[in-house]
Structure 1
Amino acid sequence: MPRFQAPKPPRHNEAESAKASLEKSNSDPDVLASAIRGDVSSLVSQSSFPNQLTVDSAQIGTADIAKDVEEYRTQMEELSLSGNPAHAVDLEYRSHSMATGRGRIITVLLRFLPITEPISKYEGFLTSLNQSGIRPYPISQNDAHEIFVDRLSEFIATRVDSGVGSSPPSTFVETNRIGETVLYAKGYFLSTGTVFGTSTPAIASIPSGRYSFGILNSKGQQQFENAVWSIPTQSAIRLNLS
C-alpha cells in the first residue's frame, strides 16, 4: 500500500524550521497538500490509483477517488482523440468555518463523463454552467493535469485533516425555496452533480473533502454556486440560487 513518506531529516540549523513546517502541516490542509503533491501526481500517472493511503500516519479510504482518477484519464484520452480541449472554471474556496463571504479563487477541471454520452451533452453542460454564472474556459492537456493534481491534493489533505474517519457528521445545505433538489460535485473534478437531498435544509453525510453544491432549478436546469467548500463544515451551507 503506498505511503506518503516524510522528508529526510534536515541538518544543523534547518532542523527547527523543518519541525515547525511539519507540525503546521498536521493542522493546515493547504500546507499538507503542497507536501504530498508530488506523490499524488505520481499516483495519478500510474495505471491504477490505490483504494487506501497513509498520510501523516493517518490511514484514509480513497476508493471514491480511485474511480475519479480512472475516469479523468479516460476523459483526457477521449478529448485528445476528438480534438476537443479540456475545460476549467474558477471558483471561490471556502474553508471549514466559512459558510459565507469571499474566499480565494481556485481553478477546477470539468468532468463530462460518462464517455458513452455524445460530445453534445458536454457542450450542454458548458452552456448550463454559463447560464448559472460560472464561466468555463478551454485549457491545455498539460494545464488540465496540473489543475487536477492541485485540487486532488487539497481534497486528500482535507480528508486527512478532518479526522472523522468513515463516519463524517451530517452536512446541512439551505436554499431559497422548500423542496428543491440539491446537487453536489467533488471539488477537484466538477461534474453535472449527484443528488445530495431535498431542501430546505437538505441533510446528508458525505465523505470529507472539498465539494461544490448546486440545485435543479424550476426549469430543470442545473445551477451551481460559484464556490468549493471544505466538508465537514462548522455551519450550514447557504446557496443563493434561483
Structure 2
Amino acid sequence: MASSPEDHTRDPVNQSLIDLRDRIGFARLGIMNNQVWHEDPRRLVFTLARYKFVSKMLRGRGRAVEIGCGDAFGSRIVRQEVRDLLVVDYDPLFIADAQDRMTPPWNYEARVHDILAGPVEGSFDAAYSLDVLEHIPESAEDRFIANVTASLQPHGVLIVGMPSLESQAHASAASKAGHINCKSGDALKSVMERHFHTVFIFSMNDEVVHTGFYPMAHYLLAVCCSKKQIEGA
C-alpha cells in the first residue's frame, strides 16, 4: 500500500515530528489556557515566562508543590527542573483536566486541595503559587501563607507571583472583579516578611523579569527563604 503524504515530511530531519504524532497524538492546551490562547494569545507567553522564572529559581530542588495550579499547563516547565512535583487546586475540574493531559516523561502528582482549609500533606523543599494571592481576601492572606509554609522544610523556598496594584488601572473588568488583593512591591514584601526572614522582590513587565522600579511593574514575584517560626503555628 502506498504511503500517504501525511506519513512523511519533505525534509527527513522533520520525520520525528510525524513519529511523535503517531505515537502519542497531539498535545492540547489546558482548559484555562485554551481561553487565553483564544482571547489574548500573547498573554500565554507572559504566563509561561513566569513558570520559567520559577523553574530556574528552583532548579535542582527535590520535591516541590504548586499551590493553586489551575489547569497546570505551565507546571511542566517547573517539573523539568525539579525531581518531583505535586500540583494542587481547590477546583476538581482543573485537576481532572491536568491529569487527563499528563504524559511521560513529565509526570507529576495532581490533587484537589483547598489551601485555606489547611496545609498540603507532605514535606517539600520548595513551593510556589502564581496568580493566586490576589484572589485571597486580605483577612485570610496570613492563613494562606502560613498553610503553604507549614509544609515547607526549614531550608525551603517559596515563590509567590501576583499582578501589581499599579497594574490594575489597565486590567479588564473581569480581572478587576477577581483581583481583590493586589499589592505594591513594598506591601508584598512586608506581608511575606511576616513569615520569612529573607524576601527578594522582582519586577516583571510582559515576559521580562528584572529588578526595576516596583510602581512600574505589571507583575511582582517574591522569592522567600528561611521561614520564621510563628507562635501558635
- Range of TM-score over shorter length: under 0.3
Higher fraction of helix: 2
The structure whose Rg is larger is 2
TM-score scaled by structure 2? 0.26
TM-score scaled by structure 1? 0.25
